[in-house]
Amino acid sequence: MPSTHSRTRRVAWTSLALAATVGFLPASPAHAAGSGTAPKAKTPVQTYGKLHVCGTQLCGEAGKPVQLRGMSTHGTQWYPQCLTGAALDAVANDWKASVLRVSTYAREGAYRADPKKYTELASKLVDMASARGMYVIVDWHTIHPGDPHEDLAGARAFFKAIAEKHKNKNNVIYEIANEPHGVSWATIKAYAEKIMPVIRSRAPGSVILVPTRGWATLGAAEATNEKLVIADPVRDKNVMYTYHFYATAGREQFLKLLDRASDKLPIFVTEWAVASWNGWGTDYPMAQKFVDLMAKKKIGWTNWSLSDNHKDLSVFKKGACGTGKFGTASLSPNGVWVRDRIRG
């Protein structure tokens, strides 16, 4: 999701509606030795171990379905004050998040502008989340142009570096592109078949998340549906498909599609919000329907986003991260609501 959405995205979603300073601070993980004698709770990674895909589910090392719940960063070129060690302590220990999505934009002043800086920043955030016992989704955040092949060389270099650096970790998940649009499922699948070997050659057992067409809506935002993916899936193990929704925009049509598709495909909702895609509005009843469905079917999710701007989708009050305090008093109304859903 961009900081300011394009006219193209506005048209796509409007049409659908009408038709229906990073700090690498040492962590204090939950399992660390304390002054008392009571045993500390296990972290999510300690509890579930290395994840894999079993049928239509994401499963832990013991073979049982797992639902990960957590947050997505905004673009890492923005809101660094919300990605400090103290912020991640709050997300991991108070919010009880089991996963952090780290969004590295391919463009918009990020990777293309300085590949070394943003690769190292993503890697640092992987380490920070790992130190706190969370799983990490490494997101190659493509938006424009809609064909992910346009940033293929960058994606290859980025995932080569990240997978090589973190190949011995058991908590890293790879999201190989964000929101393709204006291209066919065949084009997206072909892109996946080019990127996945880069990761597999270094981290062969990792879970890989493949985007779907229509802004990762399984085609819903482009007047199609999940049938194309079901008929022609990516032929690889440990693959899941991404799905995005914004509660005030997608509504019942998107809810029904997610319910239907998750019966046939392993789905991970890597981006959603109570607000619309433009950052404004709240529809808590509709959002709760999605949350309930995802809980029932153990569909993992990350909410957009760890930021403190003036829009409704930010989980922190405007400017709150700059104080360095991340208790509940720093949360926006959206943040209070989302934190409660992460905690379960």
Is residue 271 annotated as part of the catalytic site, yes or no? yes
Which of 302, 319, 323, 301 minimizes the C-alpha distance to 310?
319
What's the number of CA atoms in the CB half-sphere (13 Å) around residue 154?
Answer: 22
Q: Which residues 6+ apart lie within 8 Å of 204 measured at CB? A: none
Q: Which residues 6+ apart lie within 8 Å of 41 measured at CB? A: 30, 31
Which of 73, 72, 74, 79 minimizes the C-alpha distance to 21?
79
Is residue 179 annotated as part of the catalytic site, yes or no? yes
The residue from 150, 164, 179, 193 that is catalytic is 179
Give the CA dihedral 106, 111, 113, 114, nearest 10 degrees. -170
The residue from 175, 222, 226, 271 that is catalytic is 271
CA dist., res. 324 & res. 154, Å (int): 34
| CA distances (Å), origin 107, targets 154, 176, 222 | 10, 15, 23
Q: In the chain, how long is the greatest CA-to-CA distance?
A: 60
Which positions are catalytic?
Answer: 179, 271
